[in-house]
Amino acid sequence: MLPLLIISCSQGAKKRSFPKEKFTIDLLLPTSPVKNQGSSSLCWVYAMLATIESEHIIQGDSVNLSADYVARMYLYEQARRRQFLPQRVARLERPITTRGMSTMTLDLIKTYGLQHYDAYHSEPDMDYNVLCRRLDRSKKVDELLDKSIGTLPKQVFMFGVRYTPYEFARSVCMPEEYTAVTSFLHHPLHESFPLEVPDNYFHDTFLNITAKDIIPCIVNSLKKGHPVCWEGDVSEPLFSFEHGYAMLDDEARQWTEKDRQEAFEHFQTTDDHCMEIVGIAHDQHGKRFFLCKNSWGTDNPYHGFMFLSEPYVYMKTIALVGTNL
């Protein structure tokens, strides 16, 4: 046991008085280093890749994957599609974006492969928001992506072995390995459906489970040595990266699946952010928290990690992705 003292997936400041919390970690899976998504909305890429990385680290295989490679392919796909649309149609298209869902990372890996972080990553001051605006106006897609992010390597070199990006992707992750689940009342249980959130641009489907299974799903996965990619709402007043934890205003209330549904339908629970759940902890009152690896850098009390209370995770989860759900 180890004692530790804007609605978007980019970091926003919130002013609120926060109670002092002291956490003890009960279970912690290994992770790759905490990264920083900057001002981009690429949390869905960072969190899904972090989940894949932890799976390999647990197996004794160290990998550090390139979020910039996945992001580049996503931007490339949007920009190229726009080039082949009639101008009158292209004008009606949404602006090129870095927003998405964690399952879309798996889709992009399946289509374009992967690169290692050391082989392909942008400079720290690269601004994806500026890049998106430039791509909206440019026809020189590859040239702009090369200049902004970097020239793509044609191969991947790992441990003396040469791969194509597709071969490397298959050695690291098969999309079929991962299950995506959600829990809402407007669709039948135990059936998959395309989740109705703005960032589900690929219309990915999620298996509908009962709300009472959300927490056991996470706990069982972690206890079996498998991380979980969490996607959910970070708009609550007591969500604070600065303080390193998130709670609901009313932690004592017995929240129900109807509460979850009502919050979703009234846009009180929205698809804001993704993180990798890597551990279980409790506070000084014995309340259970889940330890998450964030992608907002390391400038908080827990070096980039956050503790989410069990009621928070129950109420504010949009989706979970993992190999053992």
Give the CATH number of the domain where residue 273 resides: 3.90.70.10
Q: Average pLDDT per run of 10 along the chain, which is 325 residues long? A: 46 64 96 95 98 95 94 96 80 89 97 94 93 92 96 84 91 89 98 97 98 98 98 96 96 96 97 97 97 97 97 98 92
**What's the pLDDT at 90?**
73
Q: Between the CA of residue 205 and those of 210, 243, 288, what are the distances in Å?
A: 16, 34, 30
* Residue 145, phi then psi, degrees to nearest 5: -65, -40
The sign one gets for the Cα dihedral 26, 29, 34, 39 is negative
Q: Which range of residues forms the domain containing residue 215?
A: 2-322
**What's the pLDDT at 16?**
66
Contact of 25 with 4, CB cutoff 8 Å: yes
* CA–CA distance, 277 with 43 (Å, rounded to integer): 13
How many domains are there within the chain? 1
**What's the pLDDT at 86?**
81
**What's the pLDDT at 69?**
97
DSSP 168-232: HHHHH--GGG-EEEE--TTS-TT-EEE---TT-TT--EEEE--GGGHHHHHHHHHHTT--EEEEE
Bridge partners of residue 172, in order along the sequence: none
**What's the pLDDT at 10?**
61
**What's the pLDDT at 161?**
82
Tokens of 291: 């330890």
Q: Computed over its alpha carbons, how large is the radius of gyration of the chain?
A: 20
Contact of 291 with 280, CB cutoff 8 Å: yes
Q: What is the pTM of this model?
A: 0.93
**What's the pLDDT at 82?**
84
- 55's CB contacts (< 8 A; 6+ apart) are 226, 227, 323
**What's the pLDDT at 24?**
97
**What's the pLDDT at 15?**
58
